[in-house]
Structure 1
Amino acid sequence: PTAAVKLIFGRMGRETLLTGQRVRPAVLEASGFRFGYPDLSAALRFTLGRDAE
């Protein structure tokens, strides 16, 4: 699959489909901003009404 992605999509495909997507809001964090739900699982538990933890 890697070769096909590179052939069809080129560099853009390699960067968007084959690499990690971990993104950090560095500017917000550097200014001291704290997210109410810093990870997806906590946000989903809250949204789905399972925030008992």
Structure 2
Amino acid sequence: MIDISGGRATAHAVHGARLVVIPGMGHHFAPGLLDRLLDLIAQHSRQGAPM
């Protein structure tokens, strides 16, 4: 596992990224979180990337 500082650094380095911390989340999808993850992905894709 990587310390949360790695996620913060990645989000800071990627234009338009937003870090969402989900307590208890590891490398595997926790049961019951799929809907939330899909919603976050959909929100991100609706924002689009600047050209």
TM-score, normalised to structure 2's length?
Answer: 0.24
Which one has a larger percent helix, Structure 1 or Structure 2? 1
Return the index of the structure with the highest Cα Rg.
1
What TM-score comes out, normalization by structure 1 length? 0.23
